[in-house]
Structure 1
């Protein structure tokens, strides 16, 4: 349990939502942490499956025709890094939101703190996972899972494999309104054809499976049990109460999703529409 457990936290075992709404809810949780003194940990999934672009990622790296044909949404995150294909079934995502003045100011120290429950959850599933022991060079820069592997925030498995370990989770942070928001993608299963198909590239799916592993491949636990294990680890880490979004939060998120995270202006050019421009 972290020292942050003496604050007020809620654990959200969130329902599947579209990518724009999922990203908007993170900003809403930031406001709640400051205004209502209530911090958030949550586990969630994406429906429909969604490609989330890194903040500065060029929209031309996306195979837009493939995404449309496959029914894959596209949004853009506030965090940097490469794009991540969040499959409705194969991806498990989480978020941690807390005031910045309560957590380490050093980025690496904050990653280490916030990844504690993620590593604990994977351990409880039986996955031998840890931060990467060594750096691995980039294979395809626009893709988060195929970028260089960074020991500071990339989680690999099996950890005992050293340089041969494969990436199982990517994690990223940003600061919004004096709040730290960390979110991450954990690979439950592999969908290599879609992971490379969403990008404007001729990479073979085998390139993805050579670099990435999954919970299912490592230990074979079913998805519902994996989600529950991760959520429980997050909740116990900060002694959170089971909770949910309030109506005002959902309404605010719906507006923000419409004029920012779901708007073409943001997705392609990082432009945020005002309310009267929707």
Structure 2
């Protein structure tokens, strides 16, 4: 249990939502942490399956026709890095939101703190996972899972066999209104055709499978058990009380999704429109 457990935390095991709303909910959780002194950990899924672009990723790296044809939504994150294809089934995501003054100011120390429950969850799932022991070079920069592997925030498995280890989780942070938000993607299963298909580049599926592994491949547990294990690890880490979004938070998130995360201006050009410009 973290020293942060003496604060008020809530655990939200969220329902599947569209990508724009999922990103908006993180901003809403930041407001709640700052204004109401309630911190949030949550586990969530994406419906429909969604490609989340890194903050500075160029829109022309996306195969928009492929995404339209496959019914894949597109949004843009506040965090940097490459795009991540969040499959409705194959991806499990999480968020940790806490006031910045309560967590380490050093980025690497903060990653280590917030990833404690993630590594605990992998252990309890029977996955031999840990931070990467060494950097691995970039294969394809627009894709998060094919970019360089960084020991500071990328998790690989099996960790005990560095020459055979492949990426199983990526994690990223940003700060907003004096609040730290960390989110991450855990690979439950692999969908290589879609992971490479969302990008406007001819990539072989072996390029993805050679670099990425999954919870199902490493331990064989079913998805529901993996989600429950991750939620329990997050909740135990901060002694969180099971909770849910309040109606006013959901309303605010829908408005923010329309104004920002679901707008073409943000997705294509990182521009935030005022309400009168919608």
Question: Counterpart of 2:16?
Answer: 16
For 1:138 and 1:221, how far apart are their aligned partners in 2? Answer: 30
Q: What is the rounded CA distance, in whole Å, between the counterparts of 1:93 and 1:242 in structure 2?
A: 17
Task: State the partner residue of 2:203.
Answer: 203
CA contact (8 A) 1:91 1:188 kept: yes
1:162-241 equivalences under 5 Å are: 162-241=162-241
Structure 1: unaligned runs, 5 residues or longer: none
Work out whether residues 133 and 163 of structure 1, in 8 Å CA contact, stay in contact via their aligned partners in 2.
Answer: no
Partners of 2:149 and 2:99 lie apart in 1 by 28
Give CA deviations for 1:86-109 in whole Å, capped at 9, x if unaligned.
000000000000000000000000
1:159 aligns with 2:159: yes
Equivalent pairs counted in the alignment come to 278
CA shift, 1:276, in A, is 1.2
2:135 matched residue in structure 1: 135
1:40 paired to 2:37: no
Provide the C-alpha distance between the structure 2 equivalents of 1:64 and 1:164, rounded to a whole number of angstroms: 34
Shift of 1:222: 0.2
Preserved contact between residue 172 and residue 183 of structure 1 (Cα < 8 Å): yes
The alignment partner of 1:265 has SS state of helix
C-alpha RMSD over aligned residues: 0.4
Contact 1:52 1:74 in 2 (8 A): yes
Where 2:210 maps in the other structure, the secondary structure is helix
**CA distance in 2: counterparts of 1:106 and 1:238, whole angstroms:** 20
Give the ranges of 4+ consecutive aligned residues of structure 1 lying more than 3 Å apart after TM superposition. Answer: none
Residue deviations 1:155-209 (CA, integer Å, cap 9, x gap): 0000011132100000000001000000000000000000000000111111100
TM-score when scaled to structure 1?
A: 1.00
Listed as ranges, the gaps of 5+ residues in structure 2 are none
Match of 2:256 in 1: 256
TM-score under structure 2 length normalisation = 1.00
